[in-house]
Amino acid sequence: MVQDSIRILQAQGHKATRPRKLVLEILEEMDRPLSPYDIQGVLRQRGKYLNHVTIYRVLDILCSLNLAHKMLSSGGFVRCSLDMAEGCHRFMVCQHCGAIREFADKELCQGENEFARNFGFHAEHHHSELAGLCSRCYRK
Amino acid sequence: MVQDSIRILQAQGHKATRPRKLVLEILEEMDRPLSPYDIQGVLRQRGKYLNHVTIYRVLDILCSLNLAHKMLSSGGFVRCSLDMAEGCHRFMVCQHCGAIREFADKELCQGENEFARNFGFHAEHHHSELAGLCSRCYRK
DNA sequence: GAGCTAAATGCAACAATATTGCATTAGCTC
DNA sequence: GAGCTAATGCAATATTGTTGCATTTAGCTC
């Protein structure tokens, strides 16, 4: 999966560098929103080091290619778990354990688009976050 | 409108203080996302002063009562323009001029809820931001 | 594999945003 | 208007994000 992302990076003319691989690995492994400093901390625990500026820059690129997303409610970053859902990013955010699940749905977007058009608004990107409880936390 | 919000504040046991009135006035008047420091700046231009900590605290309360919302994409705050839409907050955000328009729709929420339930997720709050162009900016 | 070059990183400094504890002030009730 | 408690202001600090520049390195050419 990290490999897939790296390939996409390269296809866009970006280099396959150590910091980029490391950030992708961490995002993949942790699977919950991490701030740039969180990522730096995880790496440090493993005896590895990246400057936080570098992490910011890596995340910028990943987000611009939709390989990662910035969770708006927490400010943390998660890797993108969908193949192609340009312009439609919806997330279930468990308020208890912090787990994230991404999804996309054309009909939802169309519904929102129609609503917007009634106000003369032309929507390009959708970003929606549902706060609630994941199945595991709900059972408790 | 500021008066309405103040009444709601008081009904919840909060006091109707000068900082709270001032912040509500600014939010009402500007009608676009403002950071706490933006608000402080506007006030300063008018020869008034509020400590930024106070502004943060006022905004916390307003958000907790749904009298204001934090725009996740920009981090700024807008006043709530809907009467009652608990748990459903959707915004059109003009990428060109920054204007905000809030809306809510039960069907959209139900759609998202159903989708979530298929993953065992129980949604409580919806926050969605549509980036695009408002009617005025689109015409250009 | 050595050399080249643009891209990427690290560093340092700084800017912006956000939080905490505590002394002082000011709404509200009577 | 006095008293009580919530709310504010202040100071200090923590967290998050940005910029410019010197140095390094990935990926290309030969």
Task: Give me the domain span that covers residue A30.
Answer: 2-79
- pLDDT, residue B90, reads 95
Dist CA B98 CA B106 (whole Å): 26
Query: How high is the pLDDT of residue B85?
Result: 66
Same-domain pairing of B118 and B54: no
A69, A122, A133: best mutation site toward chain B, by most B Cβ within 10 Å?
A122
Q: pLDDT tens-digit profile of B80-105?
A: 988 766 789 999 999 999 999 999 99
pLDDT tens, position by position, B41-71: 999 999 999 999 999 999 999 999 999 999 9
| B13, B53: one domain | yes
The gap between A64 CA and D25 C1' (Å) is 23
* Domain shared by B31 and B56, yes or no: yes
Q: In chain A, how many domains are there?
A: 2
pLDDT at position A81 is: 87
Q: Are residues A53 and A97 in the same domain?
A: no
pLDDT of res. A85: 66
Asked if pLDDT for residue B1 goes beyond 90, the answer is: no
Beta bridge partners of A131: A93, B125
Interchain proximity A133–B112, CB inside 8 Å: no
pLDDT score of A10: 97
Instruction: Compute the distance between CA of residue A59 and CA of residue A20 in angstroms, rounded to an integer.
Output: 9
Tell me which of A121, A135, A139 to substitute to probe the interface with B (most B C-beta atoms closer than 10 Å): A121
Q: What is the DSSP string of A73-120?
A: TT--EEE---S--TTEEEEEEETTT--EEEE--HHHHHHHHHHHHTTT
Q: Is B140 buried (19+), middle (13-18) or exposed (0-12) by CB count in 10 A?
A: exposed
Chain A's closest residue to B137, CA to CA, is: A121
Per-residue pLDDT, B84: 66
Q: Which of A94, A69, A98 is nearest to B120 (CA)?
A: A94
Q: Examine the domain organization and report whether B93 and B48 are in the same domain.
A: no
Judge if B71 and B96 occupy the same domain: no
Domain boundary among A79, A111, A127: A79
A7 and A75 share a domain? yes
Share of chain B above pLDDT 90, in %: 89
Estimate in Å the CA A17 to C1' D26 gap, whole number. 7
Span A104-119, pLDDT tens digits: 999 999 999 999 999 9
Report the residue of chain A nearest B100, measured CA to CA. A121
Low-confidence stretches of chain A (pLDDT beneath 70) = 84-85
Token pair 């060109």: residue: B96
Tell me the C-alpha distance between A100 and A127, whole Å: 14
In the prediction, which pLDDT does A84 show? 66
| SS3 call for B16 | coil
Nearest-CA distance from A45 to chain B in Å? 31
Nucleotides of C strand lying within 7 Å of any protein CB atom: 7-13, 16-21, 26-28
